[in-house]
Every structure is written in structure tokens, then in C-alpha cells.
Amino acid sequence: MDNNYTYPVIIDYAEKDYINIYFPDFDNAATCVETSENYIEAAQDFLALMIIEYESAKKPVPDCSFKDIPINDNQKIIYVNLWLPYHRSTTRETYTKKTLTIPVWLDLLAKQNNINFSSVLVKGLKKELNIE
């Protein structure tokens, strides 16, 4: 099981309000997004779901083809890279236990106020890492 994947993606601007996204290495599987949406992020999410589905079905994940792919005038090819552990974590949240040390007075005060330590730690880490 690999963690990094890069695949060619055809971005098709044929529709006025939508961008069609095709994945040649996955039998031209496709998705679409509104023109106002981030099509690269949508392509990564769709690609991650396809790879996870292949793995779940014990099917071999296609190799990336760096071949010439014919396109129309209203299309372009981009290469989308994704790191699968991140996408797996967004589809199925898994947790790990951490041990931490805090001052006794802070522990007592937090317990008196029914503070959920895990929740506060997650919020603090996300803020520190500039993650939504």
C-alpha cells in the first residue's frame, strides 16, 4: 500500500456552470464541480475515494500513466498529487492516546469547569497548525 499518488486528470470546461473532471487511469471515471469550486481539491477527494475503494475491494490500484493523453480545445491536463493518509483521516477519524503533563492547579480548575481535555487539545493543535 502506497501513501503518495500522482495521476493525470483531464479538466474539461465544456459546460458553462460546471467543470468536468476525468481520470484516464481509472477507466475515465468522472466527477464534476461548479465553476466556483476548487476543482483540484475535488479531484484529490474523488481520487482518494477511488483508491480507498480499490484497496477495500482488494483490487490493484492502477499505475500512473505518464503517456500522451489526447484532449480537446476546452480541456487541459493537470497532474494531481495526494497523500493518502490525510484523505483516509478525513473519511474515517481515528484517534491516538497521548499522555500530557499539566500543573495540578490547572487540572483542578479545568475539572471544576467540566473541560474536556481532549477537545481543548485538538482545538489548540488545530489553531497552532492553522487548520480549520
Domain total in the chain: 2
Does 84 share its domain with 105? no
Same domain flag for 46 and 100: no
**Cell numbers for 56:** 477495500
Category of 27 on φ-ψ map: left (φ > 0), alpha (ψ -120 to 50) or beta: left
User: How high does pLDDT run on average in the chain?
Assistant: 86
pTM of the entire predicted model? 0.63
Q: Cell numbers of 86, please?
A: 490525510
Mean pLDDT, residues 32-38: 87
pLDDT at 76 > cutoff 90: yes
What CATH code is carried by the domain that includes residue 63?
A: 3.30.160.250
- At residue 95, the pLDDT reads 67
What range does the domain containing 111 cover? 96-132
Residue holding cell 485538538?
122
73 and 118 in a single domain? The answer is no
- Same-domain pairing of 53 and 38: yes
100 lies in the same domain as 87: no
In total, the chain counts a number of residues equal to 132
At residue 53, the 3 state secondary structure works out as helix
Per-residue pLDDT, 121: 87
| Chain centroid offset of residue 18 CA | 21
Task: Residue 75: count other Cβ atoms within 10 Å of its Cβ.
Answer: 15
Indicate if 80 and 101 belong to the same structural domain: no
